[in-house]
Amino acid sequence: MSKKAKIIIYSILFILFAGLGISGGYFIAAIQDLPRIDQLKNYQPSLITKIYSDNGEVIAKFFRERRETVSLSDTPLSLREAFIALEDQNFYHHHGIDIKRILKAIWIDLITWSRSQGASTITQQLARSLFLTPKKTISRKIKEIILAIQIEKRYSKDEILKMYFNQIYFGQGVYGVGEAASFYFGKNVSELNLAESAFLAGIPRNPSYYSPLNHLSNALRRKNFVLQRMREVGFITKEEEDKAKKIPIKIVGLSDNKKRGNVYYAPYFAECVRKKIAQKYGYEMLWRGGLKVYTTLNLKMQQAAEEALIPYLKKKNFQGALIAVDPHTGFVKAMVGGRDFKESQFNRATQAYRQTGSAFKLFTYTAAIDSKRFTPVSPFYDAPIAFKYTREIRKIGEIKKKKELWSPQNYEKHYWGKVFLWQMLAHSINVASVRLLQEIGVGKVINYAKKMGIDSPLNYDLTLTLGSSSVTLLEMVKGYATIANYGIKMKPILIQKIKDSKGNILEENFPSGEAVISSQTSFIMIDLLKKVIDYGTGKRVRWLGFDRPCAGKTGTVGWPGEKDTDKTMDAWFIGFTPDLVAGVWIGKDDGSPLGEKLTGSAAAIPVWTKFMKESLKGKPTKDFPSPPGIVFKKIDIETGLLATPKSKEALWFAFLKGTSPKNHSYTKREMFKVSTFRVHNFQDKTQ
């Protein structure tokens, strides 16, 4: 052998062994940090947490990867065949890699000087998506092949296909064929036809380029190519291919998915639920755990709430809130926390602390009735009065005392003279109500407010009954719901039940109540609050055509500026029928005035009435049943005594047994002149 021939042979051998050495080095490097496929035993892809209404409608979804897992039996044969024809026609015949396909891809790449040919099997693609990065390197490819062979040894073809179908990416944050069918077609995956199956199979190769939301024409051409491949492989006939190509594809996500994101209804309610889940179960469980959360929200009522409140707020550039609760269960049925969730996520139904005005009088009058010292016809004098009190201001190391004089005013700027307790509440008479609070005791009324549903700190002074303390709408609705539920305070519930991804119940919340007021006292208050609507500040409810038995109370907080005493800062109305309590607050976040004469009656009642009309449409009309221990008496409203045939005006009132008037009315009501200005002492200690 010549010297030249030896050099050539040695050079070839060197290159060959060098190549083998390099390849061996890549192989050794690849297997050193090879992922362990036994992780697949506990394979749990990131799943969608779904929030449901009380009727099972999905109101929101929370996810990192938009995925709904499905079993292989749920996927139609056409979908399986579409993916196999396009991605791996020998799927059921190889052991993880397709040697012939690899060699063919290498040959085509060599003669075309490109790397365009894909040779990865479905098993290789699964290994890549689960354990590796998409970066194209020799090391990654070796790992992919080894992992695919290992997966094939441990799992059946159907198990591999199931994992693949639940792992594959379809763009728009959508993973898995189950969620893809829902997202793009609004269908369950089992309902897909041949054309839709081919359409979905064409997306994963390049989810951006073949996106039906961004490049529909590309996606449709890809669908036709998939159908062609299915025919070439022998899965469908030419006739079936031609027929499927003509079937129109309707993409339901074009508008809804762009516009609504992951919250479809009741964004303020959904956000409350999201926070509760995250706080209790953690962010990973919320965003990746695939929880099924069944809530108390009623979509019909929620829609009614939004239609009643939001247009009104936007028209006048106000903010506001509405919350509705079933008083017997505590289930929150509707919640609107502002005019636009995208504009502000601050929930004014649960997070805004505002003065309540006369809506707070509920607690003063409940304490009065429950004491049995007062009845609906207990007489009071509404006349000018001033309270002299010493305020203790405590600072670090010192206590200062300051003498002040406070004179409450009626909203109408006049005094009523002699009035009865029912009139004081019905017409929201401030001065007489302060006198009532003084007789009952501030501390006692605070205790009643606390046990009926108020959790916020309350002012320990005579302004309490005028609603000077700042509380939330939810707290006020809880208080009124306690009366509507005949003295049983229910815990507000947003979540009925939570299941994990395997169907195990993580929590279940049942109605939980505590008797805090007697049913008899509650019924007296119901009767008094009905008269607010029929004869007092709530008459607008009747003017607007709501004729069901109902009870409620307005609240108006005036602008504190000296020249703007007729301007309203907060407008409230909280009212209820036997089975539904709803509260409405209207205001501005910065506390600036709404305008003149926009009282609780003018601003809040129209929203409440519209909501209640729509929510109760089609439901039977019910009245409030009276409990044992209640008697009804017809009262002469001029004298407050039992009515006679000579009484000009008389109304039926409910009384606790043994507290109703004993005498009949035979004389005209004595008239009293308002001429006295009394000054009383009241001690107020503020820390």
Residue that wins the pLDDT comparison between 685 and 407? 407
State residue 344's pLDDT score: 94
Query: pLDDT tens-digit profile of 7-29?
Result: 555 455 545 544 444 444 444 54
pLDDT band with cut points at 50, 70 and 90 for residue 676: very low
Judge whether 376 and 422 are in contact, CB under 8 Å. yes
Tell me how far apart the 2 most distant CA atoms of the chain are, in Å. Answer: 146
Looking at every residue in the chain, the average pLDDT score rounds to 87
Q: What's the average model confidence in pLDDT over 110-138?
A: 70
Q: Which of 120, 182, 358, 522 is catalytic?
A: 358
pLDDT score at 42: 65
What integer pLDDT is reported at residue 20 of this predicted model? 47
DSSP string, 360-387: GHHHHHHHHHHTTS--TT-EEEE--EEE
Instruction: With a cut of 70, say whether residue 332 has pLDDT above it.
Output: yes
DSSP for 147-172 reads HHHHHHHHS-HHHHHHHHHHH-B-ST
DSSP symbol at 642: B
- Per-residue pLDDT, 43: 67
182 classed as catalytic: no
Contact of 285 with 353, CB cutoff 8 Å: no
Q: How far apart are CA 96 and CA 119, in angstroms?
A: 12
Greater pLDDT, 402 or 122: 122
Q: Using pLDDT thresholds of 50, 70 and 90, give the confidence band for residue 411.
A: confident
Question: What pTM does this model have?
Answer: 0.81
pLDDT of residue 396: 67
Whole-number pLDDT of residue 622 = 96
- What's residue 278's pLDDT? 94
Mean pLDDT in residue range 327-348: 96
Count of other CB atoms within 10 angstroms of residue 384: 16
Residue of 681 and 581 predicted with greater confidence: 581
Dist CA 65 CA 169 (whole Å): 9
- pLDDT score of 606 more than 70: yes
Catalytic residue among 68, 81, 87, 152: 87
Dihedral pair phi/psi, residue 117, rounded to 5°: -85, 125
pLDDT of residue 47: 86
How deeply is 233 buried, as exposed, middle or buried, from its count of CB atoms within 10 A (0-12, 13-18, 19+)?
A: middle
> Given pLDDT bands bounded at 50, 70 and 90, which one contains residue 665?
confident
State the pLDDT at residue 133: 66
Percent of the chain with pLDDT over 90: 65
Owner of token pair 């002492």: 681
Average of pLDDT values for 529-544?
Answer: 97
pLDDT band at residue 402 using 50, 70 and 90 as cut-offs: confident
Name every residue whose Cβ is closer than 8 Å to that of residue 67 and which is 6 or more positions away in sequence: 45, 46, 47, 48, 166, 174, 175, 176, 178, 179, 290
| Per-residue buried b or exposed e for 359-380, using 16+ beta carbons within 10 Å of the residue's own CB | bbbbbbbbbbbbeeebbbbbeb
Q: Tens digits of per-residue pLDDT, 56-92?
A: 999 999 988 888 889 999 999 999 999 999 998 889 9
Section 267-271 average pLDDT:
97
Strands 174-175 and 678-681: unpaired
Quote the tokens at residue 337: 């926390």
Q: Which of 248-257, 312-321, 522-531 comes out lowest in average pLDDT?
A: 248-257
Beta strands, E only, 510-618: 513-515, 551-558, 567-577, 580-587, 595-596
87 part of the active site: yes
The predicted pLDDT at position 252 comes to: 84
Q: Is the pLDDT of residue 598 over 60?
A: yes
User: pLDDT at residue 152 above 50?
Assistant: yes
Structure token pair of residue 645: 């045939």
What confidence category does residue 150 fall into, taking pLDDT thresholds of 50, 70 and 90?
confident
- For 111, the 3-state DSSP assignment is helix
Q: What is the per-residue pLDDT for 29? A: 47
Q: What is the per-residue pLDDT for 66?
A: 81
Q: What is the pLDDT of residues 274-325, one digit of tens each?
A: 999 999 999 899 998 999 999 999 999 999 999 999 999 999 999 999 999 9
> Which of 144-153, 267-276, 300-309, 601-610 shows the lowest mean pLDDT across its residues?
144-153
655 DSSP β-pair partners: 631
Other CB atoms closer than 10 Å to residue 444's CB: what's the count?
A: 16
CA nearest neighbour of 229 among 375, 126, 356, 87: 87
Tell me the C-alpha distance between 371 and 436, whole Å.
12
